[in-house]
Structure 1
Amino acid sequence: METAGTKNSIQNHRISIYIIVLLASLLLNIIPSTIVTVTGCPLWLDTIGTILAASIGGYIPGLIVGLLTNMIKGLSDITSFYYATLNIMISACTTFLVYHGWFKKVHKIIFSALILAIIGSGIGGLLPWFLDSFPTKGLLTDIGIDFIDKLISVTVVVLILKFIPSHIKKAAHFRFWMQTPLNEEDEKNVKKITCRSTPIRSKAIYILICSLIILAIAAAIISFVLFRNATIIEYSGIANDVGHLAAKAIDPEMVDDYISQGENAPGYADTKERLADIKAASHDVKYLYAYKIMEDGCHVVFDLDSPDLKGSDPGTLIDFDESFEEYIPQLLAGEEIDPIISNDEYGWLLTTYIPLKDSEGNCVCYIGTDVEMSTLLTSQLTFGVQMIFLFVGIVILITAVAVWLVDYSLVYPINSMTLRAQNMHFGDPEVLQENVKAIENLKIHTGDEVEKLYTTFLSMTQKSTGYLDEIREQNDTLSKMQSSFIMILADMVENRDENTGAHIRKTAAYVRIILTKMKEMGIHKDVLTDEYIENVVNSAPLHDIGKIQVPDAVLNKPGKLNDMEYEIMKTHTTAGKTVIDQLIKQVPRCAYLQEARYMANYHHEKWDGNGYPEHLSGEDIPLSARVMAVADVFDALVSKRIYKPPMPLDKAFSIIKEGAGTHFDPDVVKAFFAAEEEVKTVEEQYHQK
């Protein structure tokens, strides 16, 4: 079991763990591959460490191990450098497969090995065709052998991973946090954040890859041209060297005799044999000959046979080739000329002409040396493939490192701030403080504009939270002032009515009890929010505000009202609505005033439509008014009036129950009776007072 001490130890020795993983992975690449090479096994087993490093630490350790492996092998075999690209690709692919859980199930492990084999031998199998470093078997055969190789390698890695403790694997994952490390849940949520257009990570990748491709193409073209020129210079040097050696073998004083007498001329056969030896010593030379250049054409002095063409006899006249026409004046003058590249019936050739001069310094003939240019084409093709492999590897490597840096220095910090901002909850002060604390705990330290953005964002959030606290305090003060004003205004009305006593406070208490119970019972749950309940309760004292316009004689009459007086009393509902409408005009966005308007105008409406002032019925009556109807009637029944004594509670409850479905909303009555004990407690408290 992991302890706090173990975790701290792992954190403190993270770099040591990285080094150990890299070294162990490097050895797992080199040792098995060395063993199979020595034993003659047809496998390679040179990517076990690369796959392990990528599985544990991600693609950066995998890239490092793959590159180091090929660099070490390259000390003894130069072609290993070109295979570094394959190790880089295998590392990147392994990281992707592990991240998506492909190393956890047998069938996915097999398929993963096949994918890696296609990279190793499918793509890698093309390179030997151009390097010609060893005979290449059939491509499918190579992939089949490599599939076994990769299956063994992946299986070994999976077994190793099972024996490595989880906290070691977690510590070995190569990270470069420039902030407080994210937990797994936050990291997943950060990666899920989407953008309206292309994410900055993708933009950076596109720009980088396009730049690298352009740079790689430019570098490849330049390298190709330089390589071609260098090769031409090298072949020209070979041709010149052969020509100079041949010139030393020919006696310039005997050239005319060689032309006229041919093989019968003294020393001709010996000279031809020496020329043949010189040609045989250089495998790059296709044709070697000596021509005397005259106005009528080329007179053959020597023309050695080649495998595909018999040489011309001495004295034979050969017409000038079209590719030599511009050089004829120089040749006739016995001057040196630059190498000539031609492509005719004799093939694609690089030709040098070395003048052979007599004792008086006169040019008696030219030694012509033709180098086969198809070897240059092969060299160029081999060089081009090598460059492509290297540049692909470099592009993948630089892109991987750049993406890794962009992730940790840009994407994670920005998306972490975005995630924290999305989780901001301004309604609850405690949650808001936790949100601000979460932003503070990010501790982004990229040292660039991102860090500046973070500090500005944090400062703004802290200030905004402070302003919200001040606004909340001011709102609380205003709310208290508002409630006090409502209560004072209601008291002023109530003080005119000698019958009501503590009516406004008791009805407000009953309204709170009923609404709270309805919410608990799931009645009108979409309407009964905490805010709605507070608005209704706070505005409940205004339900009789219209009585301020009822004459004292009617309002405080000790006996029963006559019909005319009753009609006057009924006007307190519409009068209350009119008063509150005036308030709403002054404060149009005040939700509690709307509920006060409903209760003032409709608290005498009845469920069956026989109430007043508008004879509304059922749910056409606003909910707040339906609740106030029960609270108002119940308090009127149980309270003492100058014209009646208080009614016993049981009798009052019975009347409310009888009125369900006619006078009152059945759901409101149901909630009222569900909270019967709380209602009685309120009544007892005010009765004692």
Structure 2
Amino acid sequence: MCIDAAHGSTMGAAMDDIENVRSLRGGKKLVMLLLFCVICIAVNFIGSHVATGLNLPFYFDCLGSVLAGVFGGYMPGIIVGYLTNFVTSLNDPSSFYYCLSNVFIAVCSAFASRRGWFGKPHTVLLVVLLFALCGGVLGSVITWFLYSAATGEVSSDFAQQVMDVTGMAPFAAQVCSDFLIDLADKGITVVVALVVMRILPDGLRSQFDFTFWQQEPLEGEQLEAAKSARTRGLSLRAKVALIVAVVMAVVAAATISISFMMFHRSNIEAQGRIAEGVANLAVQAVDADRVGEFLKEGEAAPGYAETEARLATIRDNAPETQYVYVYRIQEDGCHVVFDPDTADEPGSDPGDVIPFDDAFLPYRDDLLAGRPISPVVSNESYGWLLTVYRPIIDSNGRCTAYAAVDISMDTLVSDEMSFLARVIILFVAFFVLICAIAIWFTEYGLVMPVNSISRAAGNFAFDSETTRSGSVQGLRDLGITTGDEVENLYQAVLKTSEDTVDFIADSQQKAATIERMQDNLIMVMADLVESRDQHTGDHVRKTAAYTKAIMDQMRREGIYANVLTDEYIANVVKSAPLHDVGKIEVSDTILNKPGRLTDEEFAIMRSHTTAGEKILEDAKGAMSEAGYLDEAQRLAAYHHEKWNGQGYPYGLSAEDIPLSARIMAVADVFDALVAERIYKKPFTYEKAMAIITEGAGKHFDPVVVEAFSHISEELYAQRTVLDDIVTHKHDDAAKG
């Protein structure tokens, strides 16, 4: 408990130190970024003023944005793009609507720089094309919707010339002309940017490449792996971007709709007030007591022409007004009293009857009664109009006619389209900014740390103590300090990894102890057998050494190389001392009989093979993993089988006999021949090898005998040393 607390305290202090150092470096880099952005914004202004001062047909207003994207990356480029147009909008508000072009140019420059496009001629041309699309085409579309969409007129002389020469539609001519101008403008901008990139040192980019690492910065392969981590579904980066985009889209749609409806209502009300003012002037211009006379006599009535001229003057002095006229409302329709001619069409004659438009039918009774009505919007015989009717009251208080004013809704539509375009452009601009900021913070505060943890955990190596320690150190070196749930996850993964490594080390230590205990138990079991068989001496230990020597030689010669693996050899060597374990069930009388065994006694002696097989089968059943006991069982059961099938207990032959048992057969007989027994003297090396060689293909596997013959003399010469080694091991086991 105390150790865990101390470990947690140490880790917390380490994280605090890392965060403090990172904060100092981040503060210095932030100052450098701000200075860099100010310089780039100034470059944009200088370029723009140079182009204006020299009266050039270019802009030169995005060189700073390009340099910000090249040297600083996406965020500095976006910041410079927005702030350039924001500062410009303080003097010219309409310039802010073009910030999208500047921002997209900065984004394209950062994208191209990171892919090395500025270093190859054909990709440089692609960069110029991209810039022209962002500046010329996008800027032209913005211009069209702000100023020309309602009127259908182009906004520049060059665009008019393109339209006249090519016969293009106004919109296409506007886009084409702006693109051609911008292509030259951005070509010059890219050339200047390339010169600046060539002059400034390569290491400068790292000074202005603004990142938001909340861990140890990644580079090279690690950075690419963290960025391109594969997911089964949509990536976290994409999910955040999608959520932000959907939320922003919903908010934008709701806000734009509400704003547009409010603007539309406000516009209608404003135009209605203008129309009411004009209608009131028209009422004052008409002599209400003579309306009947004017209607009956028309232009022949005294003062008619003067009154109609005053109405025309009132109309002409109000630019928003399309028509000013006077009607007397009767059951059969609207009787024209005054309808001044316009420049485009003549007015109706006095006495003409105009049928009620459908839009006025709901107000028919009010009009017949001489009551005021609300402004009416109609789109019928005279076009899309906002109409205001004001009653003309005579000296007796009766409504003798209505002064009517029509305002064309086309002007309102133009204003509303321009308003809608401005609102949409502003929302798109802020949409891009917010998405960029959200993705940027998500990238460094969420995606990179999570992918780094995932990659470090996925690459965690358990195959050795060195690789385990290296993997833990790799996790520790990430140094994630987001201060939120991601950091909690990192600390949990790190602690789990450290605990796992400690557990594995402890388990391996215990496993090694258990393995040593098992080895000692094997030798104890072998000693139990040897202590009862006075003939064998240290036979089981020596045969283990001989089998290892034979297997090593066979592997050197490429014999059964696919079988003789390190694990296989270790299992055989460890199992060899148990090959005679079945003798524990043979009585001492038979084991130590100095004379020749009877047939019955020999049959009992031979049973030690099957007895050993049964003992080891039972031992395997008591263990979850058999391990080397499989080999021990095969050795015990088959080490007296012969190559020609004349052995016991099963009469197996050739390669039906397990390889380990065929090797043990040679080692077992060789040791029995050269060792001294109470009933015989040791055979000479020559005699022993003659017996072994003669038994090849009969008693023994000839391949094993061949390999053994290459080392047998050396083994025989070292038997004294081997005796000493075996004796020492025996003494150590006894002491243990």
TM-score by length of 1: 0.86
Indicate which of 451, 462, 466 corresponds to 2:487. Answer: 451
Shifted more, 488-497 versus 567-576: the winner is 567-576
Which amino acid in structure 2 is aligned with residue 146 of structure 1?
D
**Aligned counterparts of 1:682 and 1:54: Cα–Cα separation in 2:** 80
The residue that corresponds to 1:78 in the other structure is 93
Structure 2 vs 1, CA of residues 330 and 8 (structure 1 numbering), >3 Å: closer, same or farther?
Answer: closer
Displacement of 1:308: 3.2
**Aligned counterparts of 2:194 and 2:606: Cα–Cα separation in 1:** 86
Structure 2 vs 1, CA of residues 55 and 336 (structure 1 numbering), >3 Å: closer, same or farther?
Answer: same
Structure 2 vs 1, CA of residues 686 and 406 (structure 1 numbering), >3 Å: closer, same or farther?
Answer: same
Displacement of 1:494: 2.1
Displacement of 1:305: 1.4
Whether the aligned pair in 1 keeps the contact of 2:519 and 2:574 (CA below 8 Å) is: yes
TM alignment of 1:63-142, pairs within 5 A: 63-132=78-147, 134-135=155-156, 136=159, 138=173, 139-142=175-178
Establish whether residue 684 from structure 1 lines up as the match of residue 721 from structure 2.
yes
Structure 2 vs 1, CA of residues 270 and 342 (structure 1 numbering), >3 Å: closer, same or farther?
Answer: same
The residue that corresponds to 2:576 in the other structure is 540
The residue that corresponds to 1:494 in the other structure is 530
Establish whether residue 480 from structure 1 lines up as the match of residue 516 from structure 2.
yes
**Aligned counterparts of 1:614 and 1:267: Cα–Cα separation in 2:** 144
Which amino acid in structure 1 is aligned with residue 325 of structure 2?
Y
Whether the aligned pair in 2 keeps the contact of 1:560 and 1:643 (CA below 8 Å) is: no
Whether the aligned pair in 1 keeps the contact of 2:324 and 2:406 (CA below 8 Å) is: yes
**Aligned counterparts of 1:316 and 1:613: Cα–Cα separation in 2:** 134
The residue that corresponds to 2:56 in the other structure is 41
CA-atom RMSD, angstroms? 3.8
Whether the aligned pair in 2 keeps the contact of 1:656 and 1:669 (CA below 8 Å) is: no
The residue that corresponds to 1:3 in the other structure is none
Establish whether residue 590 from structure 1 lines up as the match of residue 597 from structure 2.
no
Structure 2 vs 1, CA of residues 681 and 93 (structure 1 numbering), >3 Å: closer, same or farther?
Answer: farther
**Aligned counterparts of 1:140 and 1:157: Cα–Cα separation in 2:** 25
**Aligned counterparts of 1:349 and 1:545: Cα–Cα separation in 2:** 115
Which amino acid in structure 1 is aligned with residue 75 of structure 2?
I
Whether the aligned pair in 2 keeps the contact of 1:483 and 1:538 (CA below 8 Å) is: yes
Whether the aligned pair in 2 keeps the contact of 1:518 and 1:668 (CA below 8 Å) is: no
**Aligned counterparts of 2:186 and 2:706: Cα–Cα separation in 1:** 76
Establish whether residue 424 from structure 1 lines up as the match of residue 439 from structure 2.
no
Tell me the SS of whatever aligns to 1:194. coil
The residue that corresponds to 1:221 in the other structure is 257
Output one character per residue of 1:389-436: Cα deviation in whole Å (capped at 9) or x when no partner: 333333333222222222222222222222222223334233323323
Which amino acid in structure 2 is aligned with residue 686 of structure 1?
D
TM alignment of 1:386-397, pairs within 5 A: 386-397=422-433
Displacement of 1:47: 3.2
Whether the aligned pair in 1 keeps the contact of 2:674 and 2:684 (CA below 8 Å) is: yes
Whether the aligned pair in 1 keeps the contact of 2:662 and 2:704 (CA below 8 Å) is: no
Whether the aligned pair in 1 keeps the contact of 2:692 and 2:705 (CA below 8 Å) is: no
Output one character per residue of 1:34-66: Cα deviation in whole Å (capped at 9) or x when no partner: 323433434434333333333333322222122
Aligned residue pairs: how many?
683
Tell me the SS of whatever aligns to 2:336. strand
**Aligned counterparts of 1:243 and 1:257: Cα–Cα separation in 2:** 21
The residue that corresponds to 1:199 in the other structure is 235
Structure 2 vs 1, CA of residues 381 and 256 (structure 1 numbering), >3 Å: closer, same or farther?
Answer: same
Tell me the SS of whatever aligns to 1:397. helix
Structure 2 vs 1, CA of residues 621 and 293 (structure 1 numbering), >3 Å: closer, same or farther?
Answer: same
Whether the aligned pair in 1 keeps the contact of 2:553 and 2:707 (CA below 8 Å) is: no
Output one character per residue of 1:254-282: Cα deviation in whole Å (capped at 9) or x when no partner: 54443344344444434433332332233
Which amino acid in structure 1 is aligned with residue 143 of structure 2?
P
Indicate which of 347, 354, 360 corresponds to 1:324. Answer: 360
Shifted more, 124-133 versus 558-567: the winner is 558-567
The residue that corresponds to 1:26 in the other structure is 41
Whether the aligned pair in 2 keeps the contact of 1:506 and 1:683 (CA below 8 Å) is: no
Query: Structure 1: any 5+ residue segments left out of the alignment?
Result: 1-6
TM-score by length of 2: 0.81
Shifted more, 135-144 versus 107-116: the winner is 135-144
Which amino acid in structure 2 is aligned with residue 497 of structure 1?
D
Tell me the SS of whatever aligns to 2:343. coil
Whether the aligned pair in 2 keeps the contact of 1:10 and 1:171 (CA below 8 Å) is: no
**Aligned counterparts of 2:559 and 2:35: Cα–Cα separation in 1:** 65
Tell me the SS of whatever aligns to 1:245. helix
TM alignment of 1:148-547, pairs within 5 A: 148-358=184-394, 361-512=397-548, 530-547=566-583
**Aligned counterparts of 2:304 and 2:713: Cα–Cα separation in 1:** 138
Displacement of 1:591: 1.0
Output one character per residue of 1:204-235: Cα deviation in whole Å (capped at 9) or x when no partner: 33233222222222222222212221221222
**Aligned counterparts of 1:636 and 1:560: Cα–Cα separation in 2:** 16
Structure 2 vs 1, CA of residues 282 and 524 (structure 1 numbering), >3 Å: closer, same or farther?
Answer: farther
Tell me the SS of whatever aligns to 2:580. helix
Whether the aligned pair in 1 keeps the contact of 2:309 and 2:340 (CA below 8 Å) is: no
Establish whether residue 52 from structure 1 lines up as the match of residue 50 from structure 2.
no
**Aligned counterparts of 1:678 and 1:155: Cα–Cα separation in 2:** 83
Which amino acid in structure 2 is aligned with residue 83 of structure 1?
Y
Shifted more, 194-203 versus 611-620: the winner is 611-620
Tell me the SS of whatever aligns to 2:349. coil
Whether the aligned pair in 1 keeps the contact of 2:298 and 2:351 (CA below 8 Å) is: yes
**Aligned counterparts of 2:716 and 2:405: Cα–Cα separation in 1:** 121
Whether the aligned pair in 1 keeps the contact of 2:65 and 2:80 (CA below 8 Å) is: yes
Tell me the SS of whatever aligns to 1:217. helix
**Aligned counterparts of 1:223 and 1:674: Cα–Cα separation in 2:** 99
Tell me the SS of whatever aligns to 2:628. helix
Tell me the SS of whatever aligns to 2:322. strand
Displacement of 1:552: 4.1
Structure 2 vs 1, CA of residues 509 and 25 (structure 1 numbering), >3 Å: closer, same or farther?
Answer: farther
**Aligned counterparts of 1:643 and 1:536: Cα–Cα separation in 2:** 30
Output one character per residue of 1:526-581: Cα deviation in whole Å (capped at 9) or x when no partner: 65665544433332321222232344455446677787766655443332212101
Whether the aligned pair in 1 keeps the contact of 2:336 and 2:348 (CA below 8 Å) is: yes
**Aligned counterparts of 1:450 and 1:132: Cα–Cα separation in 2:** 49
Whether the aligned pair in 1 keeps the contact of 2:336 and 2:350 (CA below 8 Å) is: yes
Displacement of 1:32: 2.4
Which amino acid in structure 1 is aligned with residue 721 of structure 2?
E
Which amino acid in structure 2 is aligned with residue 203 of structure 1?
K
**Aligned counterparts of 2:564 and 2:196: Cα–Cα separation in 1:** 59
Displacement of 1:682: 7.7
Tell me the SS of whatever aligns to 1:350. strand
Shifted more, 135-144 versus 493-502: the winner is 135-144
